[in-house]
Amino acid sequence: MRDTNATMAYLRDQHRSGSTAWRALCLKLCRSARGIGPMYPSAISAQHATPREHRVYDLDKVTRGMVAYFDDINDSNPYGHIVTVAGRNKNGELLVWSNDVAGAGKVAKVRASFFPNYWGDRFMFGATWLNGVALDLPEKKAPEPPKKERFQLLDEAIESVKKAYALNKERDNVRVANALKRDLRELQETKKRFS
C-alpha cells in the first residue's frame, strides 16, 4: 500500500497527465492511488461495507489521506461516489481528489462542497479503511494486514454486500438495493470464475 504522500503524488500525476481514463471509476481511482487491490464493484458497496469503527461522520474531523463518500440516494447514480481527501485550504475547507468533476474521466482537486452544490450528493462519511485495508494515514502507521486464505477477502466482501442489500431492501431503498444486488452478483460470479 502507498502511504499518503505517495497517494497524493499518484493523484497529482493523474491530474497533470490529462488522462480521461477514470470515467465513472471513482472507487478504482481511490484504490489505485493507494495501491490497494480490487474488492467491491462500486463505491456504494465499499461504503456499506466500511466497518463503523473506521467511519468519521464529522466533516471537521476528516483528514488528509482518508477516503470520503458522497451520495444522494434519490439521484440517477445508484453507485454512489468516493474521493480521496487531499487536505484543507487556508479557509479550512476540505479539498478532495475526484474523477469526473473537471470533465469525463479527468482527475481534479476540488472543495468537498462541490458534491452537494453541483451534484446534489451529500457527505456520508470519511473513512480510514478501504477494501478491507486500514489506510496508512499521516497520524498513524497502518498495521500490516493479516494474511488471509485464498478467497477469505472475497467471501467477506460477499457477506458484507449481502447484509447491506438485505438492510436496504428491508428499508425499501430500492435504488441502493438494486445497485447492491448487481454488485453482489458480480462478486459471486468472480468467486465462481476463479474457484
Sorted by where each starts, the structural domains of the chain and their CATH numbers stand as 4-140 (3.90.1720)
Neighbours of 21 (CB within 10 A): 13
Q: Average pLDDT of each block of 10 consecutive residues along the chain (195 residues)?
A: 96 96 97 94 95 96 97 90 97 96 97 96 97 85 53 80 87 86 86 77
The pLDDT of residue 59 is: 93
Grid coordinates given for 164: 447491506
- Predicted local distance difference test score (pLDDT) of residue 140: 56
Q: State the pLDDT at residue 142.
A: 45
- Strand 129-130 relative to strand 67-71, pairing: unpaired
pLDDT at 33 (0 to 100) = 98
How many Cβ atoms are within 10 Å of 95's Cβ, its own excluded?
16
Pull the grid cell for residue 51.
Answer: 466497518
pTM of this prediction? 0.78
